[in-house]
Amino acid sequence: MSTERLFEGPPLTRVDDARFEATVTAVERRAEGVALELDRSLFYPTGGGQPCDLGTLDGLAVRDVLEEGERQLHLVADEGAAGWEVGRPVVGAVDLPRRRDHMQQHSGQHLLSAVLVREHGVATVSFHLGRELCTIDVVADAVAPAVLKDAEARCNAAIQACLPVSVELHQGAAVEDAAQTLRKRPDAKALASERGLRVVQLGDPSAPLDRDACCGTHVGNLGQLGSLVILGSERGRKGHTRIQFAVGERAVAAIRARLDALDEVCLALNTGPADAGERARGLVAQVSEQAKALKRLEQDAARAEATRLAAEGSPWRVHTLAVAGPKALTTFAQTYVSAHPGGSLVLLHAAERTSLVVRRGDAAPEAFDAAQLLRELLEPHHGKGGGSRDFAQGTAPSAAAAAALAAAAEARLGELFG
């Protein structure tokens, strides 16, 4: 026997509306708990992008509400329902705040999708109602911020106008006529359903804002949405854009969270919300200029240090650069070699990892091979790199390896040069 779908009735607004009496018509013991079938139910089962209702049956928590074919099953814990049998009368209570939240997000989605396609020709292909985020995917490579703002304003105007939301059920021959009036044509299965075609309409019947086939739960009046806010958009799968939005209490919570984040930024920048963007842009530009100036200074310092050391004319040298980016390392090596072509060099720099350059001087002994020496030095430190007999470079994954690498290089060059 199929369950009478009380959840398709009028919207729930008061706690009393959320209670109902029913009789257990089937009891199934399953691994995940006891699945109960009722003769009638106010619990909306998971479906159509909307999560199920939760609540209680005779005080026992309902963990999940599933639809399996024509059957609707309420999943409860084993322990509580141990003695439950077919024929037991039960009192059900739907968790009203959860249902209200779902009705708001879901009805808000109808409204947003309707406005986007009517005013901007942007069609919705799917809807997701998550615990925190609600999203729709629309057919567009991108949706301009101006379009999103316009759609948001139009949605809130409809909410302020408290436009009615009504539900119709069409049967038999009337199904095809009704289908012609909808925003999106239902699939063949929905059109052939024995239960008929359920149509949700936003706005006055004489000039509806939207008509769509839907089995979900909705508010009775758009005023009950409170407000709708679009939180952002991002590129979805090919040719689609995902738009995030929130309705009702979720909208207020989302705006609150953004205001709190903005307050943090203002506090850090020592400015007010109106100036925060300009102040942040100014700081970013300043930091970028300073980074460029620092790079120039590092290059100059590397050049000066290399010139000074090259003038000493040592046959070989192991040197660790104290402050330098990777570019200064190359500058140092190039300056050193051109000033002192005969001198061999092992150059190190430790930052997040240790960078290493080995250069064979023209006056080095035959046995000196830069690439081979680099491999020997890096091998115990699991480093990577390579090069030729004259020049090689590589890195060791840790900065801590620098001291050991420098000591090993000193010892090896000492041997090579006798």
Give contact residues for Zn ion (rule: CB under 5 A): 214, 216
Residue whose CB is nearest to Zn ion in the complex, by number: 214
CB 121 within 8 A of CB 219: no
Report which of 151, 172, 303 is spatially closest to residue 233, judged by C-alpha positions.
Answer: 151
Phi and psi, residue 38, nearest 5°: -120, 160
Tokens read off for 66: 């599933």
Residue 254 Cβ vs Zn ion, minimum distance, rounded to whole Å = 21
Which C-beta is closer to Zn ion: that of 108 or that of 216? 216
* Residues in a beta bridge with 221: 164
- First vs last Cα of the chain: how many Å apart? 97
Residue 113 Cβ vs Zn ion, minimum distance, rounded to whole Å = 10
Which C-beta is closer to Zn ion: that of 77 or that of 167? 167
* DSSP codes of every residue in 158-180: HHHTT-BEEEEEE-TTHHHHHHT
CB 256 within 8 A of CB 242: no
Which C-beta is closer to Zn ion: that of 163 or that of 350? 163
Alpha-carbon 158 to chain mean position = 30
Q: For the chain, how many residues are written?
A: 418
Which C-beta is closer to Zn ion: that of 214 or that of 219? 214
Residue 204 Cβ vs Zn ion, minimum distance, rounded to whole Å = 19
Sign of CA dihedral 104, 109, 115, 120: positive
Buried b vs exposed e over 21-50: b needs ≥16 C-beta within 10 Å? ebebbeeeeeeebbbbbbebbbbbbeeebb
Which C-beta is closer to Zn ion: that of 245 or that of 316? 245
Which C-beta is closer to Zn ion: that of 151 or that of 199? 199
Residue 214 Cβ vs Zn ion, minimum distance, rounded to whole Å = 3
Residue 215 Cβ vs Zn ion, minimum distance, rounded to whole Å = 7
Residue 216 Cβ vs Zn ion, minimum distance, rounded to whole Å = 4
CB 64 within 8 A of CB 75: yes
Which C-beta is closer to Zn ion: that of 109 or that of 354? 109
Contacts of 354 (CB under 8 A, 6+ apart): 348, 381, 383, 395, 396, 398, 399, 401, 402, 405
Which C-beta is closer to Zn ion: that of 75 or that of 214? 214
Residue 355 Cβ vs Zn ion, minimum distance, rounded to whole Å = 60
d(CA 230, CA 129): 14
Question: Quick one: DSSP state of residue 39?
Answer: S
Tokens read off for 395: 């890195």
Residue 100 Cβ vs Zn ion, minimum distance, rounded to whole Å = 15
Which C-beta is closer to Zn ion: that of 104 or that of 331? 104
Tokens read off for 346: 């092992």
Residue 213 Cβ vs Zn ion, minimum distance, rounded to whole Å = 9
